[in-house]
Structure 1
Amino acid sequence: MVTHFDASLDKISVHHVGNQSLNELYALSEQPLELKDELIPKLLMKYFLTPFEKANEVYHLMHPSDDLNLNVLHHFATMAFEDPEKFHEASEQIAKQLYNVSNHPNIKPGELYVAYFHDVQIEGNQLDVIGIFKSENKETYLKVYPEDNGFGVDYEENAININKLDKGCLIFNIEKENGYKVVVIDKTNTSSEAAVYWKDQFLQLKIRNDSFNQTNNTLSIYKNFVTQKLDDEFEMSKADKIDLLNRSMKYFKEKETFDIDEFGQEVIGNPEAVESFKAYKSSYEEEFDTPINDNFQISDNAVKKQQRVYKSVLKLDKNFHIYIHGDNKLIEKGFDDEKSMNYYKVYFREEQ
């Protein structure tokens, strides 16, 4: 979790980056932005840092060769951290690197802001941070003001909404040898070809394999296993699948640590299904080169995130939704020959 109660904005440089594939150019400023108005830094802090308050996933900068010196962002972030006098020079090189990878026609041009912050907190550490942000979408704003015993109306085009950061990343001055700690936001370019350029081509990130990601990945794998894989090997109703998902969520909420054998015994129950899940998990680890331990600390934040997508709703045509939160033995499925329709019988003690 990122917080910025004590943070301050030390310096900021602004450049423009066009789309190389459309023969657009980039424009570099000659010096950092001079912030004369006291309100502007506060607005910029809100614009740049507030979106990261809900960021849970932490990444590292990387390079496919495993040589961090070849990651451009790592090189120039280190330059700025180690010699603040070279901050603006580093920001220019960062802008050039973004231009080099902006070669898909769906990538929008925009302003690139490179900022240096003090005392931004992540995981209990207050650190210096280099922030890299890009604004791509502009809006039109109306301005209403008093005029001649009434009001006048004006507008401003191509303005930036400070409540909508398009793209950004924060590089924290810690764990340099691992690629620093990095959090990232990307709210635009949802098409698959253009979306990869910010995280994969520009920043070159790998996700940190901590308790959050171990928990998040295990819950995702188990959800896919129940909803997609089990049908290949076992006959199960949707109500039984929902029960398996509910039991897994209960396990992760109540336990402090995950143990795959304990999980298999308490949640899955069927030995054959347990072995199938372990094989499914192994194939995921191999395919995505993401090892997941058989034992790890459970992250409450990851559980809360996954709870939003764990569905306990049984949808019946367009007429009924049954929410199953407890004992699935209190719901029975059958078939009515006279009506030629399926039915569910639900047992309960009292209405609430």
Structure 2
Amino acid sequence: MLSKIIVHKVGNKINQEHLFLSETELQVEDEMKELLTDYFINAFKSEEQFQFYSDSYLSLNPIYSSVAEIFEDRDKFRFESENIAKHLFEITQNTRVQGGEVFVVYFEGGLMEDGSQIDSIGIFKTEDKKPFLKINLKEENYEIDKDYGISLAKLDKGCLIYNTDKETGYAISVVDNNKNGDQYYWFEDFLKIRQRDDEYFHTQETLSVFKDFVIKQLPQEFDVNKPDQADFLTKSLNFFKEKETFDFEEFTTEVLADKNVIESFVNYKTDYEQEMQVSISEEFPINQTAVKKNQRYFKSIIKLDKNFSIYVHGDRKKIEQGQDEHGKYYRLYFEEEK
């Protein structure tokens, strides 16, 4: 439930725009609280979560510090909301970043997936004003006028910080639907966050590193063709869809089979972890939301010049590759035409 809300106007400092800080919190009726709560909360549809971090001490992350103060003492809400707005104003380094209203909101007793209740703090920025029509009845005639305002259809930027896991940077949901040509402005420059080390992260990273291995590394080391690559991708995706937990040894045995290919993948995964400075677990519960989100990158399509595309979804044995006097060809076996 929305219990506190304040709005500040944060312009683009580089474009000589100004910062306006409200002196008091907004006082809103229950109906407006419900409308605003739906507008803010419904923007977060992904299970992907992040956490604050710092290059030195976590307490030196400005937003983490302000949020921690508010969770500790709600009487500091307005003061810390000003610090949040000031920080956003100061970090703007791109002329294309739009100014806008910044809402800082305190929610009491939000419901988590496990049924528990937890407080949260939301920081939301509206940038893109939409035109709308106003129709007024004046005497016995209608008048129509155009104005600009905030559309409730889509939130431009926002984050929802849950009061849990303070020691590791809290749990945070984030959305940025209006990047303005600067993809780092909200996630990195302002919030300074990174993805949480949870089952969503490990599912996503394992799928990503395996896809890259199959597409980039496998053809360089082994005699594999496009149908072979498509088969590996299909098998891996099916594994993630059918299993509840991921076990690295089980996965490599079922999907890769060959010990030399498995060894190559182990080395590729190790190099990836070192380069990206991440650690991907070899055993974790599979997050089906992450699987669903990433499966679009596992489309097994063989493109043949500009004439044909073959979508491979199943049995590798039902597709053959060859060459004759007319050129290269694929032979497909099927039981029914649909």
TM-score by length of 1: 0.90
Q: Is the contact between residue 313 and residue 324 of structure 1 (CA under 8 Å) also seen in structure 2?
A: yes
Structure-1 residue corresponding to 2:125? 134
Bigger mean CA deviation after superposition, 69-78 or 137-146: 137-146
Distance in 2 of aligned mates of 1:190 and 1:313: 33
- Write the mapping of 1:96-115 to structure 2, written as runs, cut at 5 A: 96-115=86-105
Q: Is the contact between residue 106 and residue 189 of structure 1 (CA under 8 Å) also seen in structure 2?
A: no
Identity of aligned residues (%): 42
Structure-2 residue corresponding to 1:10? 3
Gaps of 5+ in 1: 1-7
Structure-2 residue corresponding to 1:4? none
- Write the mapping of 1:40-51 to structure 2, written as runs, cut at 5 A: 40-51=32-43
Q: Is the contact between residue 98 and residue 180 of structure 2 (CA under 8 Å) also seen in structure 1?
A: no
Q: Is the contact between residue 46 and residue 162 of structure 1 (CA under 8 Å) also seen in structure 2?
A: no
Q: For residue 152 of structure 1, report the CA deviation from its aligned partner.
A: 4.5
**Is 1:73 the counterpart of 2:44 in the alignment?**
no
**Is 1:314 the counterpart of 2:302 in the alignment?**
yes
Structure-2 residue corresponding to 1:184? 174
Give the ranges of 4+ consecutive aligned residues of structure 1 lying more than 4 Å apart after TM superposition.
Answer: 144-152
| Residue 239 to residue 91, structure 1, CA distance change in 2 (3 Å) | same
Q: Which amino acid aligns with 1:350?
A: E
Question: Which one of the candidate residues 9, 22, 30 is aligned to 2:23?
Answer: 30
Distance in 1 of aligned mates of 2:91 and 2:28: 30
**Is 1:221 the counterpart of 2:209 in the alignment?**
yes
> How many pairs were matched up?
337
**Is 1:296 the counterpart of 2:275 in the alignment?**
no
Bigger mean CA deviation after superposition, 140-149 or 226-235: 140-149
Q: Which amino acid aligns with 2:60?
A: L
Distance in 2 of aligned mates of 1:16 and 1:183: 23
Structure-2 residue corresponding to 1:174? 164
Q: For residue 150 of structure 1, report the CA deviation from its aligned partner.
A: 7.7
RMSD: 1.8
Q: Is the contact between residue 97 and residue 180 of structure 2 (CA under 8 Å) also seen in structure 1?
A: no
Bigger mean CA deviation after superposition, 225-234 or 110-119: 225-234
Distance in 1 of aligned mates of 2:257 and 2:138: 74
Structure-2 residue corresponding to 1:5? none
Distance in 1 of aligned mates of 2:31 and 2:141: 28
Q: Which amino acid aligns with 2:200?
A: F
Bigger mean CA deviation after superposition, 89-98 or 342-351: 342-351
Q: Is the contact between residue 239 and residue 328 of structure 1 (CA under 8 Å) also seen in structure 2?
A: yes
Distance in 1 of aligned mates of 2:139 and 2:17: 46
**Per-residue displacement from partner, 1:29-56 (whole Å, max 9, x unpaired)?**
11111214x432222112211011x221
Q: Which amino acid aligns with 1:15?
A: H
Distance in 1 of aligned mates of 2:180 and 2:230: 30
Q: Is the contact between residue 96 and residue 180 of structure 2 (CA under 8 Å) also seen in structure 1?
A: no
Q: Is the contact between residue 119 and residue 162 of structure 2 (CA under 8 Å) also seen in structure 1?
A: yes
Structure-2 residue corresponding to 1:286? 274
Gaps of 5+ in 2: none
TM-score by length of 2: 0.94
Query: In structure 1, the residue corresponding to 2:153 is in which secondary structure?
Result: coil
Distance in 1 of aligned mates of 2:218 and 2:146: 58
Bigger mean CA deviation after superposition, 135-144 or 23-32: 135-144
Question: Which one of the candidate residues 43, 52, 76 is aligned to 1:61?
Answer: 52
Q: Which amino acid aligns with 2:266?
A: K
